[in-house]
Amino acid sequence: MTKYLVTGAAGFIGANFVKYILAKWGNDIEIVILDDLTYAGNLLTIKEEIELNNVTFVKGDIGDRDLVSDLIAKHDPHYIVNFAAESHVDRSITNPRLFLETNILGTQNLLDCARKAWYEGKDASGNNQYKEGRKFLQISTDEVYGSLEKDYDTAQPLSVCDDVKRVIEGRDNLKTFGKNFFTESTPLAPRSPYSAAKTGADLIVLAYHETYGMPINITRCSNNYGPYHFPEKLIPLIIKNILEGKALPVYGKGENVRDWLYVEDHAKAIDMVLRNGKLGEVYNVGGFNEEQNIDIVKTVIAIIARIMKEEPQYQSLLTCEVEKINNDLITFVADRPGHDMRYAIDPTKIAVELGWYPETPFSIGIEKTIRWYLDNQPWVESVTSGDYQQYYQQMYQNRK
């Protein structure tokens, strides 16, 4: 029985990860979820999972020393996977301190509680020994590397080395907007309070490995997209606004480039790193899907317009006429301060060492994502109305 302590699993990626590992490993695993249910945590997202006998939900702060120590002592997890974070760059610009508290100090608290619980003395050479099969995995971001140049105005063909070619079955027509990519040895150069806090967390995780020999990995992923994404982020916000016939805000000229990773592919990468990643290593996880923000918005408009025409049953979700779903909805707004121009991940290491690759091309992933939102409007409504924040109270009152 493999046991996981997953923090932040009422959020977007953590929830998708829990769903993925339950589908993959079923009753062979036990999961304890620790989440403080901030505005970004939605228990409704994992409603079915927390009803299962092998899943336990605990509301609490990763920075709470007593709580985290008790959870580790009681459940003795093999893997601690830390998704919990303040994750929205715009919010970090208005309230940086919270980002340092959660992302850095919270992570350090988890690490320290794990170190105490897993420590088993020294080996003959004087090195720290930890319980067999334990690992702390920090979920980080490509934003720790700063920003890359955008060298091309239009996407150019991307070629990958032969080792990667052998792994990436079925992914062709790869493209890029630049000559350089983030590798695991790219110097860390964060530019926003969010990414600076995530960098601080990465450094403390690496320091615990170097100083105490803690069994750790770090994964640094690109922009995720897919089901259950909070509608303040680009893709779900655009979908929501299109359905409501509202303007689609795009920063600057929409030329910033991000590398989009389908969240289920990311979940698979995380589980592979947990089980097979070499201790102490960092793994970049990217989507091979570089897109300009403006093209993302136009793609979403085109797909929703097509679905509405071809499958008119979905028109009941619209509060505007189908004809209004076009590029005229796009509204350029003042750019975010210090807006990074381009992120592009080189996932060669995880592809070659662990055999992982991002299976989902953007054209497939974005259609799946849009259809999920169209088919799950009650979830979107619960999030936007704030009803989801009541769910925890209701659930616990009902259980008393």
Pair of tokens at residue 103? 């992302």
Q: Are 319 and 243 in contact (CB under 8 A)?
A: yes
Per rule CB under 6 A, is residue 223 in the interface with ligand NAD?
Answer: yes
Site string for ligand NAD, 39-68 (x = CB under 6 A): -xx-------------------xxx-----
Minimal distance in Å, beta carbon 97 to ligand NAD? 13
Pair of tokens at residue 313? 């049953």
Per rule CB under 6 A, is residue 7 in the interface with ligand NAD?
Answer: yes
Q: How many helices (H) and strands (E) does the chain have?
A: 15, 16
Site string for ligand NAD, 265-294 (x = CB under 6 A): ------------------------------
* Length of the chain, in residues: 400
- 169 is an active site residue: no
- Beta-sheet strand order (sheet of 223-225): 223-225, 257-262, 290-292
Among 114, 139, 307, 350, which residue sits at the site for ligand NAD (rule: CB under 6 A)? Answer: 139
Among 13, 21, 366, 370, which residue sits at the site for ligand NAD (rule: CB under 6 A)? Answer: 13
Among 4, 38, 248, 346, which residue sits at the site for ligand NAD (rule: CB under 6 A)? Answer: 38
How far apart CA 99 and CA 193 sit, in angstroms, is: 7
- 212 is an active site residue: no
Per rule CB under 6 A, is residue 36 in the interface with ligand NAD?
Answer: yes
Per rule CB under 6 A, is residue 382 in the interface with ligand NAD?
Answer: no
> Which residue type sits at 250?
V
- 271 is an active site residue: no
Per rule CB under 6 A, is residue 106 in the interface with ligand NAD?
Answer: yes
Q: Are 151 and 125 in contact (CB under 8 A)?
A: no
Count of residues of this chain found to bind ligand NAD when the rule CB under 6 A is applied: 31
Chain-centre distance of CA 265, in angstroms?
Answer: 11
> Which residue type sits at 206?
L
Among 4, 20, 79, 83, which residue sits at the site for ligand NAD (rule: CB under 6 A)? Answer: 83
Nearer to ligand NAD, 189 or 247 (CB): 189
Sequence-distant (6+) residues with CB within 8 A of 327 are: 298, 301
CA dihedral 258, 264, 100, 7 (to 10 degrees): 180
Task: Check 20, 145, 194, 388 and give the catalytic one.
Answer: 194
Kindly write down the DSSP assignment for every residue of 36-70, as one continuous string.
---TT--GGGGHHHHTSTTEEEEE--TT-HHHHHH
* Partners of 59 in beta bridges: 35
Per rule CB under 6 A, is residue 230 in the interface with ligand NAD?
Answer: yes
* Partners of 138 in beta bridges: 82, 218
Per rule CB under 6 A, is residue 85 in the interface with ligand NAD?
Answer: yes
Nearer to ligand NAD, 20 or 230 (CB): 230
Among 5, 10, 345, 351, which residue sits at the site for ligand NAD (rule: CB under 6 A)? Answer: 10
How far apart CA 293 and CA 259 sit, in angstroms, is: 10
Among 4, 6, 8, 235, which residue sits at the site for ligand NAD (rule: CB under 6 A)? Answer: 8
Residues of the shown chain interacting with ligand NAD in the complex, contacts defined by CB under 6 A:
7-8, 10-14, 34-38, 40-41, 61-63, 83-87, 102, 106, 139, 141, 198, 221, 223-224, 230
**Which amino acids are annotated catalytic?**
142-143, 194
